[in-house]
Every structure is written in structure tokens, then in C-alpha cells.
Amino acid sequence: LLVPSKHDGAKPGVAAEVVDLNRSENGFPAPVASSADVGVGAWLQSSSLLIGGTSGNSVIFAGGINPSTGAGGASATRLSDLAAVADGGAGVTTAIKLLVARVRPGLAAFSDGKVVVWGGQHEAGSGWKATMGEVIDADGAASKMLKVEGDPGLLANNNLATMGANVVTLRATENELVLLVSGGVPQPTPTSAIDAPSYVVVVTWGGVATVKPVALSGESLPPLRTGLAGGALTLPGGREVLIAGGLVALTGGVGGCPAGKGECLIDAVVAIDTAADFATTPVTLTARQIGSLAAPSFGVAMAPTPNGALIAGGQSTIVDVTVEQADALDASGQVVAEAFPTSDAKTICGN
């Protein structure tokens, strides 16, 4: 699901663009090609994170599919001097060597800019426990492996090693990061997210990662998972996180999905309270289902708003193919798998 068989077409013609969101009377300026070298940020299935650090804001890009080989990459890129990038400059690019090839890993940062790279191992094999996470030094080009410990049941579960999981920060201090990991596709069953466990990982600044199972407390809830390419977002103020959507399997009738569908996708939008006792095992999280997507989808985009979040896009069909062009967009604007013979504003917008 994450590594295309034809990978030579996965390299974009334009690696990066600058989008100016300062609206004038003529609307928003058109995006312009950037001269910045984003490195692996131009790869398919790479991850990105805006961080602080001692030298100001920068962006880390990590992992992804190397378009030259079709294999996961053990590389990361730091792009700094973002003010120069916004003004059309190249900024400063630093290449970083990861210790393990990763596809769509989770990223989180300590307050000093040290970055945790979690999961996403590509073909880790039996040694997956030793390679679950690594840390990139703040403003440096080196990384070191995290020491993973914790719940014996989780560490005995080979499905803990997932690509494309959703990793969201529940708490961040100078000395500790608490992450919620859900969904993704396990290496032993790369076409299904059914067996991917949800868990909490507590990462100390000193390099130890402790994995803990999750128990839910709250109102009528679906299983806590987001499948592959679900959405995960920390809401303004940091009091709650949202998880939404995701691909569970390429067949219906599984994972609580109705039979007769070509795939199993999630439509639930769940809010999770970040105030919890992370010293306990399991970690009890208070959650509530606050709504549903207009259609079960994966690949939704999420962005914070002053009072909540905007959820947009997403693909709601994979195996089933839409025949009529008029049905190719649903009410929420989520794009399905049909490729239009011709695409124009009237076809897309329906007016």
C-alpha cells in the first residue's frame, strides 16, 4: 500500500513551492516554485515537522520512498532559515543520516529541538524492536537509536512495527514526550491495519522509550485506531487531540465495516483528552466521538482553527470505481479514485 510498484513517476517535477497566505484585493498570490533544497521532503511518503531549536525555526523531513530505487530511505533533511525561504531564498539545508530506512514515520520534538523519529521501519525484519525509534540531535546531523522497553505484551506483538501510523503528541516537556500511536499497516500484514495496536510511548530526553497499552474511558466509542493514513491533530491549547478516518483493510466485512463494500474505511472523528496519568499501565485515556466524516475516508487533511479543526479532502473509494463523473466528489469534497477523462471547473464543482 505504501510502496508503489512503479516508483519512477513518484518524483515531483517541482520539489517545493512557496504559498503566500497574505490576501490582497486580488485574492491570494499564485504559489511559486521554491529554490530551497527540501531533500527527502520531495519523496513519496516522507514525513515533516516544524520545530524550534537553538537557531530558530526549521523543518525536518524524514524517511519516504527513494524515487530512484523504490525502497524506503534512511535519510532526513533539515531546512532552516525559513524567513529566507519565505522570501524566495534557498534557506539552509542539512542532510541527516538515519540509522534505519523508514516510510512515513511519526515525528515529535522536545522543546530544545531534538526530534524523535518513531516507527515506519521499512523491512526491519525480526530486529524491529531495536529500531522502533531514533533521535536526531538538535541542530545536528547525527541520530541515535532509542532504547525501547515497556509492556511485555506489546513488545511481543510483531504488529507493533507499522508504517504510516498516526503519531500525535499528548504531552511535551523539556525532559519528556508522550506520544499516542495508532493505525498504520504492520509489516507482517502490509495490506491491513486491523491488527495494528494503539498505544502510548513515553520518550525521555535521555533516550529511553517506554511503550504502554491504552484503555479507553468515555462515551460510546469505536476501537481506538485510525487505520492507514488517518488524521491526527493536537487542538489549540493542547487539551485534546483529534483522530479521524483511515483505511483499515482492502475488503469489507472486517474491522466493524459492513460487508458488500470493496474496502473498510473509518468515518469516526474522536477527541481524546490529553490530561491523563501516564505513569500507569495501561494508560487510561478519556475519549468521545464528536462526529463522523461525510463519508468513510483516508488521507484527510486536518488543520487547527480557533475553536476546533478543519477536516478536508480524503479518498473515500479505493477498490470500488466510480463510473459517473458527477459522482466522483461527495458532499464533503473528498476525491475518489476515478480519473476524469477531462477535468474542468464545471465537472469538479458541479455547476
**How would residue 323 be classed by pLDDT, with cut points 50, 70 and 90?**
very low
**pTM to 2 decimal places:** 0.84
What residues contact residue 110 under an 8 Å CB cut-off, 6+ apart? 116, 138, 172, 174, 175, 177, 205
Q: Is 88 left (phi over 0), alpha (psi -120 to 50) or beta?
A: left
Give the amino acid at 332. Answer: S
Lowest mean pLDDT among 143-147, 283-287, 308-312: 308-312
Place of cell 545536528: 140
Percent of the chain at pLDDT > 90 equals: 31
Q: How far apart are CA 47 and CA 75, in angstroms?
A: 11
Lowest mean pLDDT among 30-44, 124-138, 168-182, 223-237: 223-237
In 3D, which of 315, 317, 225, 222 has the Cα closest to residue 263? 317
- Whether 296 contacts 229, CB under 8 Å: no
In 3D, which of 87, 47, 49, 44 has the Cα closest to residue 68? 44
Residue 200 predicted with pLDDT over 90: yes
Q: What cell numbers appear for 246 in the block?
A: 483511515
Residue 344 predicted with pLDDT over 60: no
- Whether 256 contacts 185, CB under 8 Å: no
Phi, psi of 311 (to 5 degrees): -115, 125
Query: What's residue 116's pLDDT?
Result: 96
What residues contact residue 85 under an 8 Å CB cut-off, 6+ apart? 18, 34, 36, 79, 91
Overall residue count recorded for the chain in this entry: 351
In 3D, which of 283, 266, 196 has the Cα closest to residue 231? 266
